[in-house]
Amino acid sequence: MPQLSQNEKEIIIFHGIFTVLCLVLLSTLSFLPVGIRLLLVVVLYNTALPVWGMARGYTDWIHLWMFVFVLSMFQVFPDWFLSAQLNILVFPEDGLFKFGTVSGYMAGLWSIPMFLIIYAGERFSERISVMAGYGAAGTVALIIFGGSEETLWVLPSWSAQNVMMIDHMAIYIIIPEIILGISALFYYQYIKEKPHWVKIPSAFLVMLLYLGSAAFFYFLFEKIIKFA
Protein backbone atom coordinates (compact mmCIF):
# COMPACT_ATOMS: atom_id res chain seq x y z
CA MET A 1 0.00 0.00 0.00
CA PRO A 2 1.45 3.41 -0.98
CA GLN A 3 2.27 5.86 1.78
CA LEU A 4 -0.37 8.37 2.79
CA SER A 5 -0.28 11.67 0.91
CA GLN A 6 -0.13 14.96 2.80
CA ASN A 7 -3.78 15.52 1.89
CA GLU A 8 -4.74 12.18 3.45
CA LYS A 9 -2.63 12.78 6.54
CA GLU A 10 -4.33 16.11 7.11
CA ILE A 11 -7.78 14.57 6.72
CA ILE A 12 -6.88 12.18 9.53
CA ILE A 13 -5.43 15.01 11.64
CA PHE A 14 -8.46 17.23 11.04
CA HIS A 15 -10.95 14.55 12.01
CA GLY A 16 -8.85 13.54 15.02
CA ILE A 17 -8.91 17.13 16.29
CA PHE A 18 -12.60 17.44 15.48
CA THR A 19 -13.41 14.24 17.40
CA VAL A 20 -11.64 15.55 20.51
CA LEU A 21 -13.38 18.93 20.27
CA CYS A 22 -16.69 17.19 19.68
CA LEU A 23 -16.31 15.12 22.86
CA VAL A 24 -15.30 18.24 24.80
CA LEU A 25 -18.32 20.20 23.55
CA LEU A 26 -20.77 17.42 24.30
CA SER A 27 -19.40 16.71 27.77
CA THR A 28 -18.38 20.10 29.18
CA LEU A 29 -21.46 21.97 27.93
CA SER A 30 -23.87 19.56 29.59
CA PHE A 31 -25.81 22.53 30.99
CA LEU A 32 -27.03 23.20 27.43
CA PRO A 33 -29.83 21.15 25.83
CA VAL A 34 -28.44 18.30 23.73
CA GLY A 35 -29.90 19.78 20.55
CA ILE A 36 -27.90 22.98 21.04
CA ARG A 37 -24.71 21.02 21.71
CA LEU A 38 -25.18 18.93 18.57
CA LEU A 39 -25.87 22.08 16.56
CA LEU A 40 -22.56 23.52 17.81
CA VAL A 41 -20.80 20.33 16.68
CA VAL A 42 -22.42 20.60 13.23
CA VAL A 43 -21.54 24.28 12.86
CA LEU A 44 -17.96 23.60 13.97
CA TYR A 45 -17.47 20.87 11.38
CA ASN A 46 -19.13 22.69 8.49
CA THR A 47 -17.10 25.82 9.21
CA ALA A 48 -13.72 24.36 10.11
CA LEU A 49 -13.43 21.82 7.30
CA PRO A 50 -13.83 24.24 4.35
CA VAL A 51 -11.69 26.86 6.12
CA TRP A 52 -8.89 24.31 6.62
CA GLY A 53 -9.27 23.17 3.04
CA MET A 54 -9.07 26.70 1.65
CA ALA A 55 -6.12 27.59 3.87
CA ARG A 56 -4.18 24.54 2.67
CA GLY A 57 -5.26 24.81 -0.96
CA TYR A 58 -7.13 21.48 -0.95
CA THR A 59 -9.79 22.24 -3.53
CA ASP A 60 -10.94 18.61 -3.45
CA TRP A 61 -12.00 19.11 0.17
CA ILE A 62 -14.05 22.16 -0.81
CA HIS A 63 -15.81 20.50 -3.75
CA LEU A 64 -16.62 17.41 -1.74
CA TRP A 65 -17.80 19.41 1.27
CA MET A 66 -20.13 21.48 -0.93
CA PHE A 67 -21.72 18.31 -2.30
CA VAL A 68 -22.20 16.60 1.07
CA PHE A 69 -23.51 19.78 2.70
CA VAL A 70 -26.23 20.09 0.05
CA LEU A 71 -26.95 16.37 0.42
CA SER A 72 -27.16 16.76 4.19
CA MET A 73 -29.87 19.40 3.85
CA PHE A 74 -31.87 17.16 1.51
CA GLN A 75 -31.53 14.25 3.96
CA VAL A 76 -34.05 15.99 6.22
CA PHE A 77 -36.78 14.63 3.93
CA PRO A 78 -36.09 10.90 4.44
CA ASP A 79 -35.76 11.45 8.20
CA TRP A 80 -39.03 13.39 8.16
CA PHE A 81 -40.79 10.65 6.20
CA LEU A 82 -39.52 7.87 8.46
CA SER A 83 -40.46 9.74 11.64
CA ALA A 84 -43.70 11.47 10.66
CA GLN A 85 -45.25 8.97 8.23
CA LEU A 86 -43.94 5.57 9.27
CA ASN A 87 -43.34 6.40 12.95
CA ILE A 88 -40.18 4.26 13.00
CA LEU A 89 -37.70 7.04 13.75
CA VAL A 90 -37.99 9.35 16.73
CA PHE A 91 -36.29 12.63 17.58
CA PRO A 92 -36.87 13.45 21.26
CA GLU A 93 -37.34 16.99 22.45
CA ASP A 94 -33.81 18.37 22.58
CA GLY A 95 -34.22 22.13 23.02
CA LEU A 96 -33.68 22.90 19.34
CA PHE A 97 -36.03 23.87 16.52
CA LYS A 98 -37.39 21.14 14.27
CA PHE A 99 -38.14 20.66 10.60
CA GLY A 100 -41.47 18.95 11.15
CA THR A 101 -40.43 16.04 13.34
CA VAL A 102 -36.69 16.26 12.57
CA SER A 103 -34.22 18.04 14.86
CA GLY A 104 -32.67 21.08 13.19
CA TYR A 105 -29.06 19.95 13.52
CA MET A 106 -29.77 17.02 11.18
CA ALA A 107 -29.72 19.40 8.21
CA GLY A 108 -25.95 19.62 8.63
CA LEU A 109 -25.06 16.47 10.56
CA TRP A 110 -25.17 14.16 7.54
CA SER A 111 -22.27 16.06 5.97
CA ILE A 112 -19.84 14.57 8.52
CA PRO A 113 -20.26 10.87 7.71
CA MET A 114 -20.89 11.51 4.00
CA PHE A 115 -17.61 13.41 3.64
CA LEU A 116 -15.67 10.52 5.17
CA ILE A 117 -17.53 7.89 3.13
CA ILE A 118 -16.95 9.58 -0.23
CA TYR A 119 -13.38 10.60 0.61
CA ALA A 120 -12.52 6.99 1.48
CA GLY A 121 -14.21 5.74 -1.67
CA GLU A 122 -12.33 8.26 -3.80
CA ARG A 123 -8.97 7.24 -2.38
CA PHE A 124 -9.57 3.51 -2.85
CA SER A 125 -10.76 4.19 -6.41
CA GLU A 126 -7.53 6.05 -7.17
CA ARG A 127 -5.18 3.62 -5.44
CA ILE A 128 -6.76 0.26 -6.31
CA SER A 129 -9.84 0.25 -8.58
CA VAL A 130 -13.30 1.72 -9.05
CA MET A 131 -14.91 -1.40 -7.57
CA ALA A 132 -12.61 -1.16 -4.55
CA GLY A 133 -13.79 2.42 -4.13
CA TYR A 134 -17.44 1.37 -4.06
CA GLY A 135 -16.58 -1.41 -1.64
CA ALA A 136 -14.82 1.06 0.64
CA ALA A 137 -17.72 3.53 0.49
CA GLY A 138 -20.24 0.82 1.38
CA THR A 139 -18.08 -0.55 4.18
CA VAL A 140 -17.35 2.85 5.74
CA ALA A 141 -21.05 3.73 5.49
CA LEU A 142 -21.98 0.53 7.34
CA ILE A 143 -19.38 1.17 10.06
CA ILE A 144 -20.25 4.84 10.62
CA PHE A 145 -24.02 4.57 10.42
CA GLY A 146 -24.10 1.33 12.39
CA GLY A 147 -21.93 2.90 15.06
CA SER A 148 -24.17 5.96 15.15
CA GLU A 149 -27.29 3.89 15.72
CA GLU A 150 -25.56 2.03 18.55
CA THR A 151 -24.35 5.19 20.32
CA LEU A 152 -26.29 8.38 19.55
CA TRP A 153 -29.43 7.26 21.38
CA VAL A 154 -27.45 7.69 24.61
CA LEU A 155 -27.27 11.51 24.27
CA PRO A 156 -30.28 11.20 23.55
CA SER A 157 -30.40 11.93 19.83
CA TRP A 158 -32.51 10.07 17.28
CA SER A 159 -33.40 6.41 17.68
CA ALA A 160 -35.37 3.72 15.86
CA GLN A 161 -38.66 2.31 17.14
CA ASN A 162 -41.41 -0.12 16.12
CA VAL A 163 -39.10 -2.16 13.85
CA MET A 164 -36.96 -5.31 14.07
CA MET A 165 -33.67 -4.48 15.75
CA ILE A 166 -30.21 -5.89 16.39
CA ASP A 167 -29.45 -4.24 19.72
CA HIS A 168 -30.12 -0.56 18.84
CA MET A 169 -29.69 -0.96 15.06
CA ALA A 170 -32.79 -1.14 12.86
CA ILE A 171 -32.40 -4.05 10.45
CA TYR A 172 -34.38 -2.51 7.57
CA ILE A 173 -32.03 0.49 7.24
CA ILE A 174 -28.73 -1.42 6.94
CA ILE A 175 -28.91 -2.01 3.17
CA PRO A 176 -30.25 1.51 2.37
CA GLU A 177 -27.32 3.03 4.29
CA ILE A 178 -24.86 0.99 2.24
CA ILE A 179 -26.71 2.07 -0.93
CA LEU A 180 -26.46 5.67 0.25
CA GLY A 181 -22.68 5.45 0.56
CA ILE A 182 -22.18 3.79 -2.81
CA SER A 183 -24.64 6.02 -4.71
CA ALA A 184 -23.20 9.21 -3.18
CA LEU A 185 -19.72 8.19 -4.35
CA PHE A 186 -21.04 7.30 -7.82
CA TYR A 187 -22.82 10.64 -8.32
CA TYR A 188 -19.97 12.66 -6.85
CA GLN A 189 -17.40 11.08 -9.13
CA TYR A 190 -19.63 11.87 -12.09
CA ILE A 191 -20.23 15.55 -11.25
CA LYS A 192 -17.12 16.68 -9.35
CA GLU A 193 -15.56 18.31 -12.42
CA LYS A 194 -18.84 19.91 -13.50
CA PRO A 195 -20.24 23.36 -12.53
CA HIS A 196 -21.17 23.74 -8.87
CA TRP A 197 -24.91 24.02 -9.53
CA VAL A 198 -24.91 20.40 -10.74
CA LYS A 199 -24.24 19.33 -7.15
CA ILE A 200 -27.80 20.32 -6.21
CA PRO A 201 -29.81 17.98 -8.51
CA SER A 202 -27.21 15.24 -8.01
CA ALA A 203 -27.52 15.44 -4.21
CA PHE A 204 -31.31 15.46 -4.60
CA LEU A 205 -31.18 12.24 -6.64
CA VAL A 206 -28.99 10.55 -4.03
CA MET A 207 -31.53 11.54 -1.36
CA LEU A 208 -34.42 10.13 -3.43
CA LEU A 209 -32.58 6.85 -3.88
CA TYR A 210 -32.00 6.60 -0.14
CA LEU A 211 -35.61 7.49 0.68
CA GLY A 212 -36.94 4.97 -1.82
CA SER A 213 -34.64 2.17 -0.67
CA ALA A 214 -35.48 2.89 2.99
CA ALA A 215 -39.20 2.63 2.22
CA PHE A 216 -38.72 -0.54 0.16
CA PHE A 217 -36.61 -2.37 2.72
CA TYR A 218 -38.94 -1.28 5.53
CA PHE A 219 -41.80 -2.87 3.59
CA LEU A 220 -39.71 -5.96 2.84
CA PHE A 221 -38.53 -6.60 6.40
CA GLU A 222 -41.48 -5.31 8.40
CA LYS A 223 -44.45 -6.28 6.21
CA ILE A 224 -43.27 -9.33 4.27
CA ILE A 225 -40.42 -11.15 6.03
CA LYS A 226 -41.66 -10.41 9.55
CA PHE A 227 -45.03 -12.05 8.89
CA ALA A 228 -43.94 -14.73 6.42
Per-residue pLDDT at 228: 62
Neighbours of 17 (CB within 10 A): 12
Cα–Cα distance between 214 and 224 in angstroms, integer?
Answer: 15
DSSP helix/strand/coil, 89: strand
pLDDT tens for 129-149 read 999 999 999 999 999 998 888
Cα–Cα distance between 77 and 207 in angstroms, integer?
Answer: 8
Radius of gyration (C-alpha) of the chain in whole angstroms:
18
Read off the pLDDT band of 176 (50, 70, 90): very high
For the cut 70, the answer to whether the pLDDT of residue 100 exceeds it is yes
Per-residue pLDDT at 168: 83
Distances (CA, A) of 221 to 165, 177, 178: 11, 15, 16
For the cut 80, the answer to whether the pLDDT of residue 227 exceeds it is no
* Residue 96, H or E segment: none
pTM metric for this prediction: 0.94
**Beta strand pairing status for 169-170 and 159-160?**
unpaired
Per-residue pLDDT at 85: 95
